[in-house]
Structure 1
Amino acid sequence: MNAAVALTVAGSDPSGGAGIQADLKTFSALGVYGTAVLTALTAQNTRGVTGVHPVPADFVGAQLATLLDDVTVHATKLGMLGTADVVRTVAAALADRPGGPVVCDPVMVATSGDRLISVEAVDAVRTDLLPVTDLLTPNVPEAAALLDVAPATTVEELAPQARALLEMGPAAVLLKGGHLGGDESVDVLATAAGVLETRRPRVATTSTHGTGCTLSSALAALAARARLAGDDLDWAPLVDGARDYLQAALEAGESLGVGSGHGPVHHFAGRW
């Protein structure tokens, strides 16, 4: 059997709702074999982050080189990279696309509000990482940080910011509008072909821990399946599939009863 293989390059979340743990659960739920390169240990739970212990950049590079020397990876998801050295190391390792299309979730701030990336690393993301990214998936605050502008406050402001991000190097941008509130959660997909809006009903839930990780890893999983099948990489249907998966995970999240803060989404909703 030849399985689609996806790689996550991200930090660890002991509570299991975000980071490497969320990514591997998402890959499994979507029928993809998951591999992982660890960039940081965190001390966190559903209430917040109390500490971050980065993995040295040279060892992140060693993990990537050793994995890709042996395993064929069909798509890669990037999450919390943390430091500028790690960002540059990962960008250099993936420049020739040995891990297939790259989905970059520029993790900067946790749902709890805790900062997860250094200021210097933001600059490295702009200069080194965006040019090797096939799909960038920032939320509203992350897009503003990358563009060095005020965060969008309306859905109408999303498209111009998504286009501005596209000009910084990624092949496509999915700007997530979940922070804007309202009855619908509106995301904007910008590609060379134009801008599309994608909408889902907003879920009233406190189980939102790891939503960004889950969406980006779902996109990587679906891209890996498409790559294995030899299909052209069309982000619009993949975004719809990933958003449908996240919608179900959000709706079922509170049924898990995990933690006392922002609980996790249910990565195996409808599968358990």
Structure 2
Amino acid sequence: MIEIRTADITKLDQIRALSDRFNLKIGLGSESCVFKLPKLDQIRKTANKIEHLSVITPITPQKHYEKMLKYIKALPSGIRLVVNDMGILYSLYNSNSTNNFHQIAAGRGIVHTSEACPWVEHLLRDETDIIKEAFLKTNLNYTRTFDLITNLGICAVETDMEPNTVKAAVELGLPVAAHFEFIAVAYARSCHTSRFYNEQPPNCTSRCNTPIELQLADMFDLSGTPPGFAQPDQKMKEIFPTLYLLGNTVFMKSKCREFQGLERIIVNADMYEPDKLQHIIENI
């Protein structure tokens, strides 16, 4: 099963056309920005036409906390809700608001994996196999953590499509969705895109409908006198991959195509040009 996902509501018609043609699931919302959520009436209209529409809710700053809870509680029944904030999840549980949904999935804001680190191979090159295996599991592959989130209502998980991560997530015994090609490296508390364009949210939301490519240009050198920026050498350039900035999230590409055991594959339409999106879907 493939789910095509966007935080840009203007792409909905294109996504619905692809969904009708290729029998895809649809997801709307954002993992990391409260200003990229679709309006409730847009959710209701889409949910009336799409069975078990996924609504993705973000990591939520305290100032938007109550507004986010109100938004989630107003969602129509039958939604597949993706939660990326533990505080939001706990409040939904504490207010007996978890039974209105078809499924509640823990998103990447909750399901962490060290395999998404750009230089994970270098971090682990001198470690034993036991340490490597433990390091490359998800944070939910520990009994107490797993019991905590399932008791709070989580019945599915989403994670990055990396080989060890997918294997570890499948071992949890819950339905697993993996994000295709672009894996999340880091979320920023202060939005890089907003600062780059010098625009305050929500005026900047149109700036993060497509990614910005990031290349290593210089790096901070503590060994200099005085410390300052220096040009990276060739070895460092080989270690540091091309990164992609979308809103306040940094991504990198993964060549992993580990589909075994997955309940669904998530394709983020915002990471692709519209004319390339169909090609991606056809070749998964």
Q: TM-score range by the shorter chain?
A: 0.3 to 0.5
TM-score by length of 2: 0.39
Rg larger in structure: 2
